[in-house]
Amino acid sequence: MLTEPDPGRAYLDLLKRSLLGLTTGPVTLHRPVDPPGKLRSWILRTIVRPGDAVLAQPVVIDLDQNAEGTLSVWDLPSWPMTMIGAVRLDNVEACISDALESGVPGDLIETGVWRGGTTIFMRGVLRAYGIEDRTVYVADSFAGLPTPDAERYPADAALDLHLWPGLAVGLDEVKANFQRFGLLDDHVEFVQGWFRDTLPSLSRHPWAVIRLDGDFYESTMDALENLYPTLSPGGWLIVDDYEISACRQAVTDFRAKHDVTEPIVEVDWTGICWQKQA
């Protein structure tokens, strides 16, 4: 006897595989040889595009082996919409599903979206559940990462992610990515600018799921200070790039300052989350 199909489940599984770039199979790309030295590496990353034959060597990329999102922006081909890997994307789905099934009030937000893949998936989850009264907020500078303010935030002094042009994905490109998946609609809100300038305007907004992907101490702290106070009880706080010491220090300092004692759940080698209690 045939079992009744679950189109919502099938849709989310296919959406997930598409956003992760898993529908193409292994591919061979030509990657520039990256010599030692920060300055020389930056020059190559700036003037040589992925796929160019200049100072390049063939590299086989199999995204099916990237379940934990270990490939950097410099390693990934052009078609994946997210670099977080299947494990962290599964975590996003689990947190949203739990919040929806438990009736946790509030919208969804990611701070730091790159090509928009995780927020596209957030919108897809809402569609699969038939949710029409929640919005996905897509917060990013859409111009890469800010220059570290080492005087105010010493933990960011050693980070040079602002020099990586591959992290700067424009607003129009992210909107086009939403459109390609048929998910650009009135339930998506774009928040453009540096977090220190934009997130205070959302400080009274209720949230069911917050996902942070700001890398820096400053970006992580800006998001926590402005968004976490209005995360609804039962809602989820997700942090990416927790292996970066600056990001981890911001989380540690915020939890200590505000007496946040909920246990941290390890998602994978760089992702964590916790559920806010009453």
Q: What is the pLDDT of residues 174-202, one digit of tens each?
A: 999 999 999 999 999 999 999 999 999 99
Residue bearing tokens 């907020």: 137
pLDDT tops 90 at residue 37 = no
Confidence of residue 51 (pLDDT cuts 50, 70, 90): very low
pLDDT tops 70 at residue 261 = yes
Give the other-Cβ count within 10 Å of 186's Cβ.
7
Instruction: Give phi and psi for 244, each to the nearest 5.
Output: -75, 125
Question: What pLDDT digit, counting tens, does each position of 206-230 carry?
Answer: 999 999 999 999 999 999 999 999 9
Question: Residue 89 in contact with residue 19, Cβ under 8 Å?
Answer: yes
CA dihedral of 159, 161, 162, 167, whole degrees rounded to 10: -160
**How far, in whole angstroms, is CA 40 from its chain's centroid?**
28
Closest-CA residue to 273 (of 212, 226, 217): 212
| Whether the model pTM is above 0.85 | yes
Question: What pLDDT digit, counting tens, does each position of 110-142 carry?
Answer: 999 999 999 999 999 999 999 999 999 999 999
Residue bearing tokens 């998506």: 188
Confidence of residue 54 (pLDDT cuts 50, 70, 90): very low
pLDDT tops 90 at residue 105 = yes
Q: Tell me, what's the pLDDT at 72?
A: 84
Confidence of residue 60 (pLDDT cuts 50, 70, 90): confident
Residue bearing tokens 């200049």: 54
Q: Tell me, what's the pLDDT at 43?
A: 53
pLDDT tops 80 at residue 102 = yes
What percent of the chain is modeled with pLDDT above 70?
Answer: 89
